[in-house]
Structure 1
Amino acid sequence: MQITVVCQYFPPESNAPAIRTFEHAREWVRRGHQVTVITGFPNHPSGVIHPGYRGKWLRCEEVEGIEVIRTWLYAAPNRGFGRRVLSFLSFFGSSVVLGRIYGPRPDVVVGTSPQFFAAVSAYLLSRMHGVPFVFELRDIWPESAVELGALRSRLLLRPLLALQRHLYRSAARVVIVSEGFRAHLHEAGVPDERIAYVPNGIDPSFLDQPAEDREAVRARHGLEGKFVVSYLGTHGMAHGLGTLLEAADALRGEPDVHFLFAGDGAEREALERRAAAMGLPNVTFLGQQPRAALVGLYRASDVCVVPLRNLPMFRKVLPSKLFEIMGAGVPVICSVPGQAGELVTRSGGGVVIPPEDPDALAGAIRALRADPERLRAMGEAGRAFVLREHLRPDLAARMAEVLAAAVNETPGGWLQATSEPAPAVGGRV
């Protein structure tokens, strides 16, 4: 198949959509498919376009056999709803126009959301080419923006919801990353036979890469002899990270417990100011880290926290960081009830506590610190679970089967679609 994927994010960016898109696309290429990714110039989360991409409208490159078409966008930091929407819309416009001009004729177009308008771009490109559209749904937007308080205008919400429903009903398949999304799609009129579950996972190469020694990482950050509680990921509105600071305050009388934050996002600076105002000696912020450093940070941790705010929508989600943490053999304290909590319980890889409850978090940390054998067993169980059920190559193969089914249901099917070679991407820039 000739597969085109529209996703605003792609490596060297290292957020969840970038990594999922890259690892799926790489595996499809290994399996003999031709893959084009239409994406933006790398700038997440800082909003600063990386050197080598500035002052351009278009750049075409090849990454591990994947044809990558990068189009202009208004770069905005991962904070502030209005500027981020401008970024989303700018990529939407450039990806449709430049993707149509420079992209090959695909057999199928995949749009991954969020961000939502990348899926709209994929839908329009699929219609221009007369091929199936597959909607990869990783978050229920705009409802999530409403619950977080980022989108308050009913005048904007109504047309966005109408567009969302149109995309759902127009898609040959809707791929969900959590079974919690299935009921939402049923309510929107999507029949079960057009819904496919392909969750997140990890690529073995992520775990196999050389990583700094656990004790060396700890020494570099002044964590020798500490029980390290880590949060590694986006510091955003959704995560309720103030709860970790409150738990750190409750544990300040236990000096062997230390909280380690790594990542960036809309709330990072406010969290750092709050920790300083609280005078917390047991909290360290590292800021954004290269993806290559994450395995070492995971292994330097005694336990990792996966928090989200206490909102109904989060009962449907499966945070992608769960699979990296457990794959690295680190126990999880998960404060996400619903789908995520059920997965952690089923895997045996951690404990589940109520969301936004600092006393429960402090209690879980104390209990795990006091029981090294339980901690070790959780780490082993979580790793075994991920290696058994959530390896990215297996999940990419499942997704390829979904795409092939969508293609073969169209008039002529895959054989007709691939009877003529797709034209090469034009105009190297």
Structure 2
Amino acid sequence: MRELAEGLKDRGYGVTVVTSYPQHNLADNNKNFYFDRITMEDEIEVLRIKTISPHIANYFLRGISQVILPYFFLYNVKKFIKHRIDVVVVYSPPLPLAVAGRKIRDLYGAKYILNVQDLFPQNAIDLGILKNNMLIRYFEYMEKEAYSQADTIAVHSENNKIYLNERKGVLQDRIRVIHNWIDIEPYSKVMRTGRFRKMFNIENKFIFLFAGVIGPSQGLDLIIKAARKIKDVKDICFLIVGDGMEKKRLLKMAEEYSLENVIFKPFVSKDEYPELVKDADVGLVCLSSMNKTPVIPGKILGYMAASIPVVAFLNKESDGHQIIKDADCGYSEISDSVEKVAATIKKIYNERNRLKEYGENGFSYVQENFERNVCINRLEEIF
């Protein structure tokens, strides 16, 4: 969102970002930092709204917080934003924000673009998170209304467009494919320093890095079980950096298996992330096979921007498979077999002479297809 705002500002647009106050994964020196309600940051107007934390563990409370979220947003927009609005772009999830997008469109006479990042509620149903039939019907109704009321729907891949057309009845001419992008510059600025290797005492290891949210959607059980199968390869280390609802359970699993080749570390800051990725030998991506929608994990692009190979274990519907194949930047397999995961990890480990080639292929591909300005150009065309 920040990169979109900065990109549009650089093109001469007046940009207002409406967001919640930061509440999660704050650096220690920022935990007591006070954010004003409305500020100018790098010539971008930012309106921050007090909301219930979206990262609470209780799914029921999380659902309640999302249902009331659009009304927090709408109230504050009406109260604080008095200038003209020409275009409103809403990111979903959270799906209920679509309500705010429609009402803001109607109030200000703006064009309303709904940018669909995840196909909710279907993804929550597939993962067994959303089971109550009444809630499922409620969110499916909300989804139908959201798609019918947006002027344009943006999705991040062709298969997402096909899904909305064939499964949800959205007309193709109302859907535009706008790839998620990656800002390459932060990765280009840093070199492989070995700082994180030294910090984590894994200087001489062959590192498979997973960095990101550790939740039900990721299905990292596969990685832990594969690590158990290949723990005789002493050189290999699985570095899992991040946090989420599944972390404690996975930590316990690794302890029960007595795994010395799996290391868990907390999130690093956004500024440190490119350096962390560059310290790895291979970027690891994982999505549970329970996912049934064409998800593309964003970390694929981060690894490619850092010029490291990618090994991905994804649900069969994911468009990530095609990206990795087209880029020739590593391997992707369906995430349905521990044996398959272990074999693929060993395969790229034994191809160490090709790591540089895979990394360079990935960087070239992401530069050509997923660079920020390339994607913002496509978004600007539908304003």
Mark yes or no: TM-score above 0.5.
Answer: yes
Letter in 2 for 1:59: R
Answering whether residue 33 of structure 2 is matched by residue 52 of structure 1, we say: yes
Unaligned runs of 5+ in 2: none
Whole-angstrom CA distance in 2 between matches of 1:84 and 1:356: 29
State the match for 1:86 in structure 2.
64
Alignment partner of 1:102 is 2:83: no
Determine helix, strand or coil for the equivalent of 1:313. coil
Distance of 2:141 and 2:170 partners within structure 1: 14
Q: How far is 1:119 from its partner? A: 2.2
Number of residue pairs aligned between Structure 1 and Structure 2: 377
1:24-423 to structure 2, matched below 5 A, reads 24-44=4-24, 50-53=31-34, 59-77=37-55, 79-103=57-81, 104-187=83-166, 188-210=168-190, 213-314=192-293, 316-336=294-314, 337-338=316-317, 339-403=319-383
Structure 1 residues 398 and 50 mapped into 2: Cα distance closer, same or farther (>3 Å)?
A: farther
Uncovered stretches (5+) of structure 1, i.e. residues with no partner: 1-20, 404-429
- Superposed CA RMSD in Å reads 1.9
Over 3 Å counting, the alpha-carbon distance change for 1:312 and 1:85 in structure 2 is: closer
Match for 1:157: what amino acid? I
* Distance in 1 of aligned mates of 2:47 and 2:98: 16
Q: For structure 1, which segment, 21-30 or 265-274, has the greater mean C-alpha deviation from structure 2 after superposition?
A: 265-274
TM-score when normalising by structure 2: 0.93
In structure 2, C-alpha distance between the alignment counterparts of 1:260 and 1:65, rounded to whole Å: 38
Is the contact between residue 88 and residue 111 of structure 2 (CA under 8 Å) also seen in structure 1? yes
Are residues 144 and 312 of structure 1, via their aligned partners in 2, closer, same or farther at CA, if it must alter by over 3 Å? closer
Is residue 45–residue 265 contact of structure 1 (8 Å, CA) maintained in 2? no
Letter in 2 for 1:166: E
> Quick check: 2:187–2:275 contact (8 Å CA) kept in 1?
no
Measured after TM superposition, the shift of residue 45 of structure 1 is 5.2
Q: Contact conserved, 2:123 with 2:291, CA < 8 A, in 1?
A: no
Deviations 1:77-100 (A, max 9, x none): 353312322332343221110112
CA distance in 2, matches of 1:67, 1:53: 17
Residues 381 and 267 (structure 1), Cα distance of their counterparts in 2 relative to 1, 3 Å cut: same
- Aligned with 1:233: secondary structure? strand
3-state DSSP of counterpart to 2:37: strand
Q: Which has the higher contact order (CA 8 A, sep 6+)?
A: 1
2-side partners of 1:184 and 1:166: how far apart? Answer: 17
Q: Report how far residue 312 of structure 1 moved.
A: 5.0
Extract structure 1 runs of 4+ deviating beyond 6 A. none
Deviation at 1:268, TM superposition (A): 1.1
CA contact (8 A) 1:113 1:138 kept: yes
| 1:157-178 Cα shifts (integer Å, max 9, x gaps) | 2132122112211111100012
Amino acid at match of 1:342: Q
Matched letter for residue 52 of structure 1: F
How high is the TM-score relative to the length of structure 1? 0.84
Describe the superposition over 1:243-281 as per-residue Cα deviations: whole angstroms up to 9, x where unpaired. Answer: 111111111111111110001111112111221122111
Q: Which amino acid aligns with 1:237?
A: P
Q: Aligned with 1:34: secondary structure? A: coil
- What are the superposed Cα offsets for residues 13-65 of structure 1, whole Å, 9 maximum, x if unpaired? xxxxxxxx11111100000011111110111358x9943348xxx71112222
Q: What corresponds to 1:416 in structure 2?
A: none
Contact 1:42 1:50 in 2 (8 A): no
